[in-house]
Amino acid sequence: MKYLFAIAMLALAIGCGTTSDVVESASSGANTTLLPAGNWTLTFDDEFNGSSLDTTAWTADSGYTCDDAQTCLASRWPENVTESGGYLHLVTKQEERMAGRPYTTGGIRSVFTQEYGYVEARIRYANASAVNNAVWLFTPGQISHRFEIDINEGRFTSLISTTFHDWTGGKDKAESHTEFASQDLAAGFHVYAVQWDASEIVWYYDGTQVWRIQNTTARAPVQLILSTMVMSAAGPITAALNGSSMDVDYIRAYDKQ
């Protein structure tokens, strides 16, 4: 059954965007940054070394869920966001706090915003299927040209999914690219990053470029978001979901001088 499921997901990924060969990369160390060449200045940094979330830097989602209850099976709450041992934990729990959503998860959004630059996060996927492990950039507030840069949405323990969403005119025009890693991304930490300027958007995995596109509309400040969601499209629902967590070692933003 696992092999049939993997084949089905490969077909889905190919149908939704471009797909690359298996990625061969090793995880970087906790204190290592994988900046591209250039003169960079650190503008935001959370190493998650405290005992609780820094609420002066982040807002935790409270009661958020997706519109489609058939796809999104969880709601997000501050209680699912913890910090300990030098890591942020976005914990999945089997509990129904919102009708039709039998699970809860966590998500945080930065107070900090930035237009252009480089953002990287060192993340370990939740050790369970059906979790969307996400780090992304989004335009806050109401602007006429909203967009979203998904640095990674890991929906399987070997899948790296990068997407650009452009909602100019109120309609989602998305481009996506998928990588399949040779290792279990829930077994260790890996660095997911994006470099973004007025002309292009470039995605990286453990310091290796995996995709780039021209930038024609993404020209506004964005906030940093880390989140999880239980999704039927992300794999079989199993008992392993309860208590699993996406763990984040750090997230950093830089501006190019």
Is the model's pLDDT at 24 over the cut of 80? no
Task: Give the least confident one: 96-100, 105-109, 164-168.
Answer: 164-168
Instruction: Quote the mean pLDDT of the chain.
Output: 89
pLDDT of residue 12: 41
Average pLDDT value for residue range 176-182: 94
Report which of residues 218 and 145 the model is more confident about.
218
> Residue 141: what pLDDT?
79
Cα angle value 141/226/204 (rounded, 5°): 105
The predicted structure's pLDDT at residue 21: 44
Share of the chain above pLDDT 70, in %: 86
Q: For the chain, report the end-to-end CA distance as a whole number of angstroms.
A: 51
The pLDDT value recorded for residue 239 is 97
Let me know: does 235 contact 5? Beta carbons within 8 Å: yes
Least confidently predicted of 46-50, 167-171, 204-208: 167-171
pLDDT at residue 32, rounded to an integer: 66
More confident residue, 167 or 174: 174
- pLDDT tops 60 at residue 1: no
Q: What's the rounded mean pLDDT across residues 149-153?
A: 98
pLDDT for residue 122 is more than 90:
yes
Q: Is the pLDDT of residue 131 over 50?
A: yes
Beta carbons within 10 angstroms of residue 104's beta carbon:
23
Residues 6+ apart with CB under 8 A from 55: none
pLDDT (average), residues 174-190: 95
Q: What confidence score (pLDDT) does residue 60 get?
A: 98
Lowest mean pLDDT among 22-26, 79-83, 113-117, 206-210: 22-26
Whether the per-residue pLDDT at 192 is higher than 60: the answer is yes
Distance between alpha carbon 169 and the CA centroid of its chain, in Å? 25
Give me the pLDDT at residue 17, please: 61
Q: Please tell me the total number of residues recorded for the chain in this structure.
A: 257
The three-state secondary structure class of 217 is coil
